[in-house]
Amino acid sequence: MTIERVIKKFTDNNPKADTDMIRLAYEFAEKAHNGQERKSGEPYIQHPLHTAFVLAEIKSDLPTVVAGILHDVPEDTDITLEDIQKNFGDEVCNLVAGITKLGKIKYRGVERYRENLRKMFVAMADDLRIIYIKFADRLHNLRTLESLPENKRERIAKETLEIYAPIAGLLGVWRLKWQMEDICFKYLYPDDFKKLEFKYEVEKKAERNQFFQRVKKIIGQELSKSRINDYQIEYRFKHLYSIWQKMQMKDRKFDEIYDVFALRIIVADVPTCYKVLGILHTIWKPKINRFKDYIAVPKPNGYRSLHTTVFGLDGKAVEFQIRTPEMNEESLYGIAAHWHYKHNSKNNKKGDVEDQPKWVKEILEIKRDNKDARHFVQEIKSSNIFQNRIFVFSPKGDVFELPEQSTPIDFAYAVHTDIGNKVTGALINDKIGALDQELKNGDLVEIVIDKKRPGPSSNWLKSVKTKHAKEMIKKNIKSPIFDRIKNYFAKE
């Protein structure tokens, strides 16, 4: 990796940017790391260069790329944060300081590991750009795992799958998430990885390309008839770890996972997205319950797109994703791309609180309630923060975000604690549903309450998924049973 490649990648996304600071940071870091080598034997400066290149790839801003080059300087050399501040300013210094505070996860004891994870979450809540630098740093370390002993490779890979990859998904940085997961998959399950890679790269590649060209030709002809000329059609093959997970969870073979292959249609604006959707459904019959409108109701991490699965050529089920160029960038790079489009003024600091998603606030709440690092990390892992989210509607049209597998009780507590405490039933899409029934994305839920109900049932704790519902149930069943019964009959 060279500094010229880093600058070229950064200017591809920021043509008018002044890149002098990037080059100065490189010269500064190269001098500081002079004589240092990585375990692989290559000069240490290669690591910060690769880190900075990944940051430039995901459209990070100038201070973040500069901090990526400098991120190991205070930790591994005689250069101090004061030297960084003096040469590169407060913003870059604060980002480098955030990474330095995280320290290195040494894998020398569970307590050190937990404390580092706690620091990582706290630093992320202060400025999300810090965790982007940590992602880029981790990705390059994963790419060079072969130079480490086997036990360290396994520990790093497991930790990445457990912590880093889910956070990347929450931030919508799918490009980094996929790469981290597939590398970890390679080291943790080498035999399964090789088998799946063979099917992907050898057995199915020619067939896949041929199928794509046939579909692309048909779609192109129909779009031209509708005078839609500004478009791109591309395809993606789901990353190997994702396919393997589905095979494990659903006990299916590779050929039975029908959505491993997806076509993406990128058009100029939102109205055209919906127009293309109509065209696709005219050409091929859509698969029931496989349509998702993430434009009208985006995912919690900001992801927007139309998804539909149709019975396409040869009766084969094919997933289509329809989106604008901006949505496509955000689907790959997450909040970093969102900032790239949103912030054009130098006065806007990327990473501020108003730009942070809802789940970051949940992490801060867990931090406040768990001062001890061990309990903090346990709570993070056991919470629903890392789960996929669904959107559920109230009869008034209000949208509530919940983790997958949530129940009407979770929904009731999301509406209001009093509603949750007094819930006795639920209508799901105008049909009577069970209180422990799993809700689906887009469900319309109406809660039935009994104002005289003394409080929640302890049995609810077996089915609820949200942290808030669990806490409120525990809190409101603490009073003695006889007092609750007495209060219940006293009101009659």
Domain at 270, CATH number: 3.30.460.10
Query: Any catalytic annotation for residue 76?
Result: yes
> 395 and 414: one domain?
yes
User: Which of the listed residues 335, 366, 400 is the one where a domain comes to its end?
Assistant: 335
Q: What is the 3-state secondary structure (H, E, C) of the chain?
A: CCHHHHHHHHHHHCCCCCCHHHHHHHHHHHHHCCCCECCCCCECCHHHHHHHHHHHHCCCCHHHHHHHHHCCHHHHCCCCHHHHHHHHHHHHHHHHHHHHHHCCCCCCCHHHHHHHHHHHHHHHHHCHHHHHHHHHHHHHHHHCHHHCCHHHHHHHHHHHHHHHHHHHHHCCCHHHHHHHHHHHHHHHCHHHHHHHHHHHHHHCHHHHHHHHHHHHHHHHHHHHHCCCCCEEEEEEECCHHHHHHHHHHHCCCHHHCCCCEEEEEEECCHHHHHHHHHHHHHHCEECCCCCEECCCCCCCCCCCCEEEEEECHHHCEEEEEEECHHHHHHHHHCHHHHHHHHCCCCCCCCCCHHHCCHHHHHHHHHHHHCCCHHHHHHHHHHCCCCCCEEEEECCCCCEEEEECCCCHHHHHHHHCHHHHHCEEEEEECCEEECCCCCCCCCCEEEEEECCCCCCCCHHHHHCCCCHHHHHHHHHHCCCCHHHHHHHHHHCC
The answer to the question of residue 92 being in a domain is: yes
Q: Is 59:340 a contact under the CB 8 Å cutoff?
A: yes
| Mean pLDDT, rounded, for 296-316 | 82
- Is residue 470, in this structure, part of any structural domain at all? yes
Is residue 426 domain-shared with residue 301, that is, in the same domain? no
Do the domain assignments include residue 379?
no
Instruction: Supply the pLDDT for residue 109.
Output: 43
The answer to whether position 351 is within a domain reads: no
326 and 413, same structural domain?
Answer: no
396 and 264 part of one domain = no
The CATH number of residue 158's host domain is 1.10.3210.10
Question: Choosing from 76, 197, 326, 404, which is the catalytic residue?
Answer: 76
Range picked from 187-191, 373-377, 383-387 for highest mean pLDDT: 187-191
Percent of the chain exceeding pLDDT 90 equals 28
Dump pLDDT digits (tens) for 13-39: 888 888 899 999 999 999 989 888 888
In the predicted model, what is the mean pLDDT of residues 144-159? Answer: 86
Lowest mean pLDDT among 91-95, 199-203, 403-407: 199-203
The pLDDT, as a whole number, for residue 36 is 87
Q: What's the confidence (pLDDT) of residue 347?
A: 44
The answer to whether residue 303 is domain-embedded is yes
**CATH assignment at residue 473:** 3.10.20.30
Task: Name the average pLDDT for the chain.
Answer: 79
Q: Are residues 142 and 33 in the same domain?
A: yes
pLDDT tens for 230-257 read 999 987 767 888 778 777 765 555 555 5
Residue where a domain stops, chosen among 188, 206, 222: 188
- When pLDDT is cut at 50, 70 and 90, the band that residue 108 belongs to is very low
Q: Is the pLDDT of residue 12 over 70?
A: yes
How many domains, the chain?
3
Q: Mark whether 239 and 286 lie in a shared domain.
A: yes
Shared domain check, 56 and 127: yes
**Active-site residue, 230 included:** no
pLDDT > 90? residue 281: yes
Choosing from 160, 188, 216, the residue where a domain stops is 188
Q: Is residue 341 part of a domain?
A: no
Torsion sign (Cα): 263, 264, 267, 270? positive
In the set 75, 82, 372, 450, the catalytic residue is 75
pLDDT score of 93 more than 80? yes
| pLDDT value, residue 390 | 75
- Same domain for 271 and 325, yes or no, is yes
Query: In this structure, are 27 and 160 located in the same domain?
Result: yes
Q: Looking at per-residue confidence, does 111 or 436 come out higher?
A: 436
Query: Does any domain span residue 72?
Result: yes
pLDDT band for position 106 (cuts 50, 70, 90)? very low
Please tell me whether residues 181 and 271 are part of one structural domain.
no
Q: Report the interhelical angle of 62-70 vs 128-143 (nearest 10°).
A: 50
Mean pLDDT for 95-122 is: 60
> Is there a contact between 157 and 179 (Cβ–Cβ < 8 Å)?
no
pLDDT at 432: 92
Q: Which domain holds residue 286?
A: 195-335
* 372 domain-assigned: no
pLDDT at site 159: 79
Same domain, 328 and 411: no
| Domain shared by 210 and 128, yes or no | no
Residue 434: pLDDT band with limits 50, 70, 90: very high
C-alpha triplet 383, 386, 390: angle, nearest 5°: 100
